[in-house]
Amino acid sequence: MLKEIENIRSEGIYLGLPFVKKLVGREYKGLWELRVRFGSNYIRIIYFLR
């Protein structure tokens, strides 16, 4: 998972799918999700950029 976090640090929002996705909806404004694959499952971590 640290590798994926480092990718966000270096690439930001330009990393794109399937690694990061902007959350849609007024209540989610400014939130993104990091998608980390573990076997056949994905772990999703919600984060924001300042």
Mind listing the pLDDT tens digit of every residue in the chain (50 residues)?
A: 788 888 888 887 788 888 888 999 999 998 999 888 888 998 899 988 77
pLDDT score of 46: 92
Determine the Cα angle at 33 with ends 28 and 35, to 5°: 155
pLDDT score of 10: 86
pLDDT score of 25: 93
Here the tokens at position 33 are 């999700």
Specify the pTM: 0.69
